[in-house]
């Protein structure tokens, strides 16, 4: 039976994350939003805290926890749950600063999810970004054109990658590439490319709507030689299995993106409740919403949407901790939380009027930060496709 009660051990970790969010992330949120592409040096002092929250041996980073292999008789809230809860708290402080935190890259999740023991040990303590998206391959990861050709003990990579979160600052980048484009998705593999590797060129950094404290990079790969030992997972091309190996990463990271969205949504709701109360519009949970002011009724509706996203996120993390397949639930959580946080933050801005729209409060910033939660790690539309395919028993070729 699912157990979403937060244990005392996790409560301590959540409290630590909340203290970090209150002491640094929230107070510096506006500063680094306005100073885009400036690395917050103060984050170095908080990196150790996030390493502890990852519960992965220090340095595996956000999502850097492996799926538990447990019997059906054991029920636990473990590493995935602790990272999800910690992520919620930190994004209550600031999502962009969390993404800028050393060793919290999505590439760390890929290494932990797909890498072997030697690779996990070798990249322990490293900051790993992840490069999937290309100019001609956005939401459809299977359309990747970056190639990887075996040459002796190396692979030679050629291609282009865009929208790489923390790409400039990371120690290495997990690059998705195809071994043979004629064999479709089954030939797509992920490779760890160390920064400084010849031919691995940073083209530019992107200017963005939100999460501006986090750098977003564009890379070009020109005959980049990567040791064969840096390929994550099996080098075999198995058409019957598709590219399930690299896609396992999303089962870990999508609940974390959902957790980020939940944290932002809660921040917006708490601030909106305060502003409404100060304006003489209290929220009364003992009265039907229809009998209260329209602003209060709207707020209660937004809170219910938040609760649904929160519970779906915990469910996906709990399933990973208990060795249960959670691809469907991960997409449930990501789709719900991504859509909800966008709606919640925009409507909170509307409820608070000119105060919500101005920069004296963080509501307008949270509305800008929220939108990416509905885009990266698979857009809203992609999540709906995944959910539909799994519920209807259809393949990607049958339902597009």
Distance CA 75, CA 306 (A): 26
Rounded Cα distance, 245 and 24, in Å: 37
**377 catalytic per annotation:** yes
Catalytic residue among 89, 134, 303, 377: 377
- Residue 39 · residue 71 · CB < 8 Å: no
Phi then psi for residue 282, to 5 deg, are -75, 155
Report H helices in 279-326.
294-321
Task: Give 137's DSSP letter.
Answer: B
Question: Cβ distance 163 to 376 under 8 Å?
Answer: yes
Q: How many angstroms separate the CA atoms of 108 and 64, rounded?
A: 5
Tell me how crowded residue 234 is: count the other CB atoms within 10 A of its CB.
12
> What Cα–Cα distance (Å) separates residue 290 from each residue in 177, 284, 293, 307?
54, 11, 8, 20
* Count of positions (residues) in the chain: 400
Active site (catalytic) residues: 377
């Amino acid at each position: 039976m699912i157990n979403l009660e937060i244990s005392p051990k996790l409560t301590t970790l959540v409290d630590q994350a909340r203290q970090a969010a209150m002491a640094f992330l929230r107070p510096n949120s506006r500063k680094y939003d306005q100073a885009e592409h400036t690395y917050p040096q103060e984050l170095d002092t908080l990196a150790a805290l996030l390493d502890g929250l990852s519960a992965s041996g220090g340095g595996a980073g956000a999502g850097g926890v492996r799926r538990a292999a447990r019997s059906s008789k054991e029920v636990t809230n473990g590493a995935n749950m602790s990272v999800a809860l910690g992520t919620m708290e930190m994004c209550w402080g600031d999502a962009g600063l969390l993404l800028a935190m050393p060793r919290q890259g999505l590439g760390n999740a890929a290494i932990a999810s797909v890498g072997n023991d030697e690779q996990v040990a070798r990249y322990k303590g490293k900051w790993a970004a992840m490069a999937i998206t290309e100019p001609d391959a956005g939401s459809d990861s299977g359309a990747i054109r970056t190639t990887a050709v075996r040459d002796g003990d190396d692979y030679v990579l050629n291609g282009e990658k865009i929208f790489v979160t923390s790409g400039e600052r990371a120690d290495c980048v997990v690059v998705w590439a195809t071994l043979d484009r004629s064999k479709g998705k089954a030939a797509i593999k992920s490779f760890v490319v160390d920064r400084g590797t010849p031919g691995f060129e940073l083209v530019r950094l992107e200017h963005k709507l939100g999460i501006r404290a986090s750098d977003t990079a564009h890379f070009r790969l020109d005959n980049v030689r990567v040791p064969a030992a840096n390929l994550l997972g099996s080098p075999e091309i198995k058409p019957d299995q598709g590219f399930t190996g690299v896609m396992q990463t999303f089962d870990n990271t999508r609940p974390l993106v959902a957790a980020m969205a939940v944290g932002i949504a809660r921040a917006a709701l708490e601030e909106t409740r305060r502003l409404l109360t100060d304006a003489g519009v209290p929220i009364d949970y003992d009265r039907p919403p229809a009998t209260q002011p329209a602003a209060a009724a709207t707020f209660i509706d937004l809170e219910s949407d938040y609760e649904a996203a929160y519970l779906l996120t915990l469910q996906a993390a709990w399933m990973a901790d208990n060795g249960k397949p959670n691809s469907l639930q991960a997409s449930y959580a990501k789709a719900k939380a991504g859509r909800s946080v966008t709606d919640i933050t925009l409507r909170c801005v509307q409820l608070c009027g000119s105060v919500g729209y101005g920069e004296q409060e963080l509501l307008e910033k949270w509305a800008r930060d929220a939108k990416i939660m509905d885009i990266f790690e698979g857009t809203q539309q992609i999540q709906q496709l995944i959910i539909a395919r799994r519920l209807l028993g259809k393949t990607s070729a049958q339902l597009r």
